[in-house]
């Protein structure tokens, strides 16, 4: 499947794309470290295994986002593909230099047209951390509805001491600590085909 939008092209991910993604500058906020794949994989020397396991998993699909001129700027993928109802769970990430230019909205509008159109899915789920206000705003603009919120384990408390910094005060209500573990509040969201596609006449 190839999707084109005014500025972008989306095509099936190829192994070499990961080498370009590895060269992107990392997201500086430690809370955003999860967006630094495949940097994390390179550190473990497992980029090949990552690509092989993802591309051979029948319940996943991964695409690369490029500009019209061929620059790799991000990835979009679905996992947990289910037959009935035909559904999956979205993942998207742009390289840090490509955020804040409207590429996320543009690519998802094209992707959702294909997902609910030719690919014939009927539901798309996603989970988003409530600290990630840019992603949250985008999903709301696209029509995703919040189903629930839940506490997602972030990791050992000792590794997240940076969260004591006052700059995290605005999102403190979304952070919970136990003695050993820190949790972040996430929203589970969904978009259904009939909410995206124009009504049939
Ligand atoms: C979340 C993510 C996909 C959103 O993509 P994005 O391109 O940064 O976001 P948008 O398409 O919403 O555009 C963002 C801003 O660009 C601005 N913009 C600049 N030029 C624009 C243009 N030509 N057209 C449209 N918007 C433009 C918009 O006004 C918008 O501003 P706002 O967020 O203050 O309202 C991207 O930031 C990302 O990959 N982040 C890291 C990974 C991540 O968070 N993944 C999601 C996990 S659930």
Q: Please tell me the predicted confidence (pLDDT) of residue 34.
A: 86
Statement: residue 32 has pLDDT above 80: yes
Query: What proportion of the chain, given as a percentage, has pLDDT over 90?
Result: 83
Pick the residue with more confidence: 51 or 77?
77
Task: Please provide residue 46's backbone torsions phi and psi, each rounded to the nearest 5 degrees.
Answer: -125, 25
Q: Is residue 92 within 6 Å of ligand 1 at its C-beta?
A: yes
Please check whether residue 91 is in contact with residue 77, taking contact to mean a CB–CB distance below 8 angstroms: yes
Statement: residue 110 has pLDDT above 90: yes
Task: Please provide residue 137's backbone torsions phi and psi, each rounded to the nearest 5 degrees.
Answer: -60, -40
Atom of ligand 1 nearest to the CA of 35: 42
User: How would residue 53 be classed by pLDDT, with cut points 50, 70 and 90?
Assistant: confident
The residue nearest atom 15 of ligand 1, judged by CA position, is: 100
Domains of the chain, each with CATH number or no CATH: 3-144 (3.40.630.30)
Q: Which of 112, 45, 44 is nearest to 78 (CA)?
A: 112
Q: Is residue 26 within 6 Å of ligand 1 at its C-beta?
A: no
Q: What is the pLDDT of residues 155-165, one digit of tens each?
A: 999 999 999 99
User: How would residue 193 be classed by pLDDT, with cut points 50, 70 and 90?
Assistant: very high
Distances in Å between the Cα of 199 and the Cα atoms of 18, 193, 196 are 39, 10, 9
The residue nearest atom 6 of ligand 1, judged by CA position, is: 104
Statement: residue 3 has pLDDT above 90: yes
Characterize the bridge pairing of strands 181-192 and 72-82: unpaired
Mean pLDDT of 168-186: 95
Query: What proportion of the chain, given as a percentage, has pLDDT over 70?
Result: 95
Atom of ligand 1 nearest to the CA of 126: 48
The residue nearest atom 24 of ligand 1, judged by CA position, is: 102
Mean pLDDT of 178-188: 95
């Amino acid at each position: 499947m190839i999707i084109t939008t005014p500025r972008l092209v989306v095509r099936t991910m190829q192994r070499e794309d990961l080498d370009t993604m590895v060269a992107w500058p990392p997201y500086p906020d430690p809370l955003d470290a999860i967006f630094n794949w495949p940097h994390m994989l390179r550190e473990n020397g497992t980029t090949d295994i990552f690509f092989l396991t993802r591309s051979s998993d029948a319940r996943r699909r991964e695409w690369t986002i490029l500009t019209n001129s061929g620059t790799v700027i991000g990835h979009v993928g679905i996992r947990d593909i289910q037959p009935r109802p035909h559904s999956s769970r979205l993942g998207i990430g742009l390289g840090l230099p490509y955020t804040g230019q409207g590429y996320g909205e543009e690519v998802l509008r094209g992707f959702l047209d294909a997902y609910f159109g030719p690919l014939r899915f009927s539901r798309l789920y996603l989970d988003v951390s409530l600290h990630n206000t840019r992603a949250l705003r985008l999903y709301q603009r696209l029509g995703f509805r919040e189903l629930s919120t839940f506490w997602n384990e972030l990791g050992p408390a000792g590794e997240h001491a940076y969260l004591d910094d006052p700059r995290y005060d605005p999102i403190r209500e979304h952070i919970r600590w136990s003695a050993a573990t820190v949790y972040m509040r996430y929203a589970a969201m969904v978009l259904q085909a009939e909410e995206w596609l124009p009504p049939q006449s």
